Every structure is written in C-alpha cells, then in structure tokens.
A = this chain, B = another copy of it.
Amino acid sequence: MAGVQGPRTFDAFTGRYAARTAGLTASEIRALFAVASRPEVVSLAGGMPYTSALPLDAVGKLMSDLLATRGAQALQYGSGQGDPALRELICEIMALEGVVGSPDDVTVTVGSQQALDLVTRIFIDPGDVVLAEAPSYVGALGTFASYQAEVVHVAMDEHGLVPEALRAALARVGDRAKFLYTIPNFHNPAGTSLSDARRDEVLAICMAAGLLVLEDNPYGLLGFEGPPTQAIRARGGSSDGNDHVIYLGSFSKTFAPGLRVGWVLAPHAVREKLVLASEASVLCPPALNQLVVAEYLTTQDWQGQIEVFKQIYQERRDTMLSSLETLMPAGTTWTHPTGGFYVWTTLPDGLDAKIMQPRAITARVAYVPGVGFYSDGQGRRELRLSYCFPEPARIAEGVRRLAGVIEAELELLDTFGPALTARAVDGATTPGPGLA
C-alpha cells in the first residue's frame, strides 16, 4: 500500500502501546476454538481434560460444605503466596515424583500458566534467550514472546530433549540464555518423555552452565505404564542441584482446569520475587478455588480419580494409535505417547499442515498445525492430535476424516506438484461454502 493513503485506522492508540505488545499474537489453538467447538466437527485440537468423568455431585457437595463451614474465609482475600494447607498438600503430591520441597518455597498460581508468566516476568529482559524444546508448548511460547524473549529451540527425539543439541545451543547463545524450558513427561505437543539418563544429563549440563531449568510438569501423574518418573527437580540430590530447577505443577489435568490452580516450587530467593510479582499481577489467587482443591485432596479419593482418568485416556490413546495405524497413508509418521494427551504427527513430504487445515475443517475434523509450537517457522509438515476429550468412536471417525484429507492432498500433489498445491490451498484459507 506504499504511496496509497490507507483506510482510517480504527485503533486510536496505535503508536501508544508498549513495545512488548507487538509480541502478543492469537495462539493457533485459541484461533481454532470457535470453529473446532462446532458439534459437527470432530475436534482433535483442544487439550481439554475430560471433566465429565469427575464426581461432579461430590465436588458440588464439597463446595456447599465448605461454604457452610468456612464460607467467609473462602470468599475473602487470601495471601499472595497461597493457602498454607494447600501448599503442604502440594508438597505431598510432588513427593510422588521424588521431589522434596518445603511448603514455604511453593507459590500457588492461577493455573501453571500464571507461573510461566511470573517466572518469565522476573527473569526476562527484552532480547534474553529462552531455550525450549522443538516443538514446545504454544502457551509458553506466547508468554515468552509477550516479554520479548528470543526462543532458541533444542531438538528432540523419541527420548525427549537431545543433550547434545542442548550443549550446542548453549555454546551458541552463552550468557544470553536465562533458562531452559522443558516438559519432561508426556510432552505437549510431542507426546514423548525425557529418558531417565537424559534427565540427569540435562540437569548436569544446565548446572555446569549456571542455567536455570524450568520444569513444567502438568502431565506427570498421567502415565499409562508404571509409576511416575522421578522429576528433574528430584535429581539435584544436594540443595545445590535443587537450586537450579524451578518446578511447575498444576491441578488442571489431574482435577479440573476450570479452577485455575497451579503452583511453582522455586529456590527461596526466587520464590520471594515470584510472590511479589504475583501480588502485582492478581493480588492473590482465588481463596475459594484453593480451599476447594484442598478439600478435594483431603476428602476425595483423588488418586483413584486419576486412575479413572488414566483408563479413559489410555483407551482413547489406543483408539487413536490403532486408527492412525490402519488409516494413515504411507509416509505419515507419529509419536507413541505412554501418557498425557497428545500424538505428534508428521505429514508425508510435500504436504503442509497449516495450508491443509481449512480443508480438514471442511471435512469436519480439527487439529492444531505444527507451526504454532515453534518460534522460528519450523513445523510445516507437523500437527498435534489430542485424544483427551472426544469419545473413542469420535476419535476413530476424526482420524478417518483426517486420513481422507491427507490422501486428497497427496493426490493433488501427485497430479500438480508442490507449487500448485500450495497455491491452490492458499486460496482455500478463505473459508469456503462448507464453513459459511
């Protein structure tokens, strides 16, 4: 539009925003939300836990009991750090993964997303580097971008983050790196877990470099095979090792995301700053939600409920993997998660998951294109499939639809070659009649 007078701007504040505001962009997942929520679409996009499996009446009764006995407290302001009794319980939960932490070093947050925000806020100046797996959690990448961090991706394979790639990245960025962000268990979106040996190696590399590890662990208790794996935070042994890890936990996947209760366990000096940052951000996390979680943990069989969730998710994972195996065209590959919510899929060479997306929506199946899980444009052939929310029959139907879309793309590619495919599909990003 150079040389042409543009239309009147409708944002009276253009030019008045903070520099960081340019880093705010709608996530791939959020952008999909409206269309993927339509009932005729099988959504393999969202990472929503299956909250219908919760004992809803028991949770309701627990709330009315709480209001009857401690209502004035549940509806009042609380401390910025969070309810002390809940912080005790959180330490018991972390102990299941070998973490020895003090309630005094725990800060309760508005979901672990707020913990991500607070850690980024206190450590990241514009231009600082965050090391993160390739791919990484889209919500974390959004937070890092909102503080003008530069994200440097570190390669993964089927055993998780590759230590050699971490060493190489560190050698490149040096002191500009403030922390390594990693999801060691049932990775979002990759579906893989970091092997035991690599956990020790990754921690050793970071300790040697004086680099913090930000261990994000929402899915650790949702493994389908055997007991939970020891956390990176549990491997320091000495307090020295523990001083290099900030551990994030959440009740969103083991209980309920609608409560927005997560936590961060941090070295004491960091914890003090996190509490101040949280007070500046939200004053205090909601007292009601914290007391509800504490009551749930003390009066309900919360570990039995996790077993219920695991059975549901394992069945859905099995359905997704067998459907993929049966239906996907040759050249398509995917990961084999042993827990969590996600299967990471790579399309045959020449296809583009982002360009293919409108056609998939037209075929009434939704996924998240891979590019959103990278900060650097990688991931065009990749996409995330979630099996956590739809019933198994819907998952099978969704994979069937997706396989059909991929086959059609391959035919197009075979007939016209990659250039025309891309061009034709660019046009299709304007929703066609099927979406009107």
Contacts and interface: CB of A to CB of B under 8 A. Distances in A.
A137 to B, nearest CB: 11
Given A57-B67, A60-B71, 4 more contacts: A18-B124, A33-B79, A51-B73, A57-B68
Contacts of A66: 60
A77 interface: yes
6 contacts: A18-B147, A20-B121, A52-B72, A76-B258, A142-B279, A260-B282
Contact of A277 (B24, B27, B48, B288): B24
A436 interface: no
A10 B51 contact: no
A431 B125 CA distance: 38
A413 to B, nearest CB: 35
Interface of A is mostly: helix
Interface residues of A, number: 91
Scoring A24, A52, A243 by chain B CB atoms within 10 A of each residue's CB, the highest score goes to A24
Contact of A125 (B18, B63, B212, B283): B18
B30 A54 contact: no
B51 A72 contact: yes
A285 interface: yes
Contact of A273 (B17, B48, B64, B270): B17
Nearest to A284: B260
A26 B20 CA distance: 25
A12 B269 contact: yes
Contacts of A243: 12
